[in-house]
Amino acid sequence: MKRHKHLWNQVASLNNLVAAAQAAMSGKRTGASGAAFSNVWETEVVKLERELRTGEYRPGEYHYFEILEPKRRMIAAAPFRDRVVHHALVRVLEPLFDPRFIEDSYACRTGKGTHAGMRRALFFSKRYAWVLKCDIRKYFPSIRHDLLLSKLERVVGDKQVLNLIALIVGSHSETVTQEWRKNGNLFDVKAVRWGLPIGNLTSQFFANIYMDAFDHYVKQGIRVKGYVRYVDDFLLFGEDRAELRRIGERCHKYLEGEGLVIHPDKYRMCRTADGVDFCGFVLRADGRVKVRSAGVRRFQRRLKQMRYEVSHGDLGWKEVGVSVRSWIAHAEHAQSWRLRSRILGG
């Protein structure tokens, strides 16, 4: 495997940081910190370049907050200037890693996404009788820093870039455990840090790198043709139920070696004719696609809340329109004309 060196000047260049700042500021959720940064962004970018070049750069403290939809999760928001560094790093590393990823990995990749993943899963649903649905329990909190860094080191050969990656990864951890070193004595232990913050661009990118070896194991090792993954949610398709169960057991064992566990309550074998839940849709072997019921209920709650906020002057119709159009664009990927008419006409 080729290791890429001489990457630091690309990462820390002023041109790259300017492009990274513009990408970060164009995001949907920049918030107050993004607005404040945008007022002085040229000055801040020059400061970041100097700090990176001199080795003085250090990530700031995260702001933690909880969200309840689509499920209860703790989000870690990095300071905005750190998000610029995240974009700068990913801009350089993504072209090195993305060609190594399998075609059927659909999260956080250019030209992929939930709807492309849904269409691929529908393609397999039409061709196979059985599907095994798997979900990794607490995926982001379960990522081991040492294993992630070792995976990155196989491709990245630039020490300064690796040091920056280690800084970013080490700026947050869910847990720290003790582990005996291989071939060490009774007292030869090392601290193992776990967890990536949900919300960082780098976390999404690193999450794909962490699962890449597993993806290749499934496709080339076990030789599963019908396989689709979106972040921590993946589907295994097959004609033989017993064989699919054996494949699932092999996946269990492989993932345990990565510090990951398939959620026992979300490990389900079903006929594709009965429908499979993936990427916000329910897909059936006959080609029918429905919007997932939980997603519909979530949008209805949001719509009710927005109507209340508009009536009290806390929200404008422009913001409502953006949210509604976004949901319509999602629902249009399913046979949902009646559903959309019922919800939006009511």
Q: Per-residue pLDDT tens for 202-243?
A: 999 999 999 999 999 999 999 999 999 999 999 999 999 999
| Sequence-ordered list of residues with C-beta below 8 angstroms from that of 2, at least 6 positions apart, any chain | 155
User: Does any domain span residue 64?
Assistant: no
User: Does any domain span residue 293?
Assistant: yes
Asked if residue 181 has pLDDT above 80, the reply is no
Say what the pLDDT of residue 10 is: 98
Alpha carbon distance 290, 280 (integer Å): 9
Asked if residue 30 has pLDDT above 70, the reply is no
**Structurally, how many domains does the chain consist of?**
1
Q: Where are the alpha helices (DSSP H) in 126-240?
A: 139-142, 145-153, 159-170, 201-216
78 close to 199: Cβ distance less than 8 angstroms = yes
Amino acid at 38: S
User: Does any domain span residue 322?
Assistant: yes
User: Does any domain span residue 304?
Assistant: yes
Q: What are phi and psi of 107, to 5 degrees?
A: -90, 135
Segment holding 227, helix H or strand E: strand 227-230
pTM: 0.89
User: Does any domain span residue 158?
Assistant: no
Domain span at 301 = 289-345
User: Does any domain span residue 182?
Assistant: no
Site of tokens 């260049």 = 13
User: Does any domain span residue 172?
Assistant: no
Cis peptide before 70 (omega within 30 of 0): yes
Q: What are phi and psi of 293, to 5 degrees?
A: -60, -40
SS3 236: strand
Cα 71-73-78 angle, rounded to 5 deg:
135
Residue 177 bridge partners (DSSP): 192
How do residues 78-137 score in pLDDT, each as one tens digit? 999 999 999 999 999 999 999 999 999 999 999 999 999 999 999 999 999 999 999 999
